[in-house]
Amino acid sequence: KTWKLDNDYFDYSHFLRQASKAVSTRGETSILSAKQAEIAGIIDDYVSDYCFGEYIDFSSPENYPVLNYQPVFDHIIETISRTIIKLIEGYKFEVKKGVWGKLSDVPRIMVRESKSVETERSIYPKNGYQPRGGGFERDFLQDVLNNSSDVLAFAKLDRRHKLEITYRDETGILRKYEVDFIVKTPDKMYLVETKADKDIDNPNVAVKVQAATAWCEQASLVPPEGMEQPRGWEYLILSEGLYKDNKGFSFEALLPLCRGLRDNIVAKAKSQLFLF
């Protein structure tokens, strides 16, 4: 992203005002506008002590013109923005103590006849899949979940189930994430997301992965009182390419592959954040 820089009048104070404003807002959406003064202080420390590998006094007129160079300005804004998001990462995953619910609380779900799969291991006779580009979901439903002996029950989650994971996206905006599938095995409950290869590297996917993982960690602490359910929960993500490369694998056989993909997504996202 290129940030617009007003060049009519430029000195170090002007730079700090422009930079802190750019960090605290994204387009038309304010993120941390109430903290603009504190952000200006962070930018001042970073630019003066770290950005150029040595201390530079930008109050001197001969030094601050470099900050008016657009690529330098963009780099500073992006670095500070990413770092602040990282520092408030714990705030991004707002996991609250929950209670167990039942799929049967939603006795019926509406699906399109032409975009659904007959299922034997679900309380719903048919489970739907996306009307556009849903071939991957369809294959996962009928070839893996429906045919794996290690799967006791599953369902394609519907909005009426109200299993929503609250998180903040890469810009800090509060969102709700609805995972694709819930799967029950003898030992554990799983939330499973199927994802097209083209979307795997989307920064927001990494945030969702971390939010869902945190949700499962907290859900595992809630005992299923009065229910015959495994207590542990785990979040998995399966890409279309990974599925096709291992077609014919059971759900249990796919577990380590899904875990590896999940962990790689998180590790890659964290390595892209520049901390000072």
**Domain residue ranges in the chain:** 12-87, 103-271
Dihedrals phi, psi of 251, to nearest 5 degrees? -60, -45
CA distance 165 to 214: 10
What is the per-residue pLDDT for 209? 94
pLDDT beneath 50: ranges in the chain: 1-4, 27-29, 91, 273-276
Write the pLDDT tens digit of every residue in 129-182. Answer: 887 766 899 999 999 999 999 999 999 988 777 888 888 776 667 788 999 999
Among candidate residues 265, 133, 270, 276, the one with its CA nearest the CA of residue 209: 265
The overall longest dimension of the chain from CA atoms, in Å, is 74
DSSP-assigned beta bridge partners for residue 189: 184, 233
What is the per-residue pLDDT for 168? 75
CA distance 38 to 35: 5
What is the per-residue pLDDT for 133? 67
Q: How many CB atoms lie within 10 A of CB 168?
A: 19
Q: In this structure, which amino acid lies at residue 118?
A: E
What is the per-residue pLDDT for 249? 96
What is the per-residue pLDDT for 171? 63
DSSP-assigned beta bridge partners for residue 182: 155, 191
What is the per-residue pLDDT for 274? 38
What is the per-residue pLDDT for 28? 46
What is the per-residue pLDDT for 111? 81
What is the per-residue pLDDT for 31? 55
CA distance 94 to 148: 34
| Domain 103-271 fold | Trna Endonuclease; Chain: A, domain 1 (3.40.1350)
Q: At 118, list the tokens.
A: 């007959």
Dihedrals phi, psi of 6, to nearest 5 degrees? -80, 115
DSSP code for 124: S
Q: In this structure, which amino acid lies at residue 34?
A: A
What is the per-residue pLDDT for 248? 94
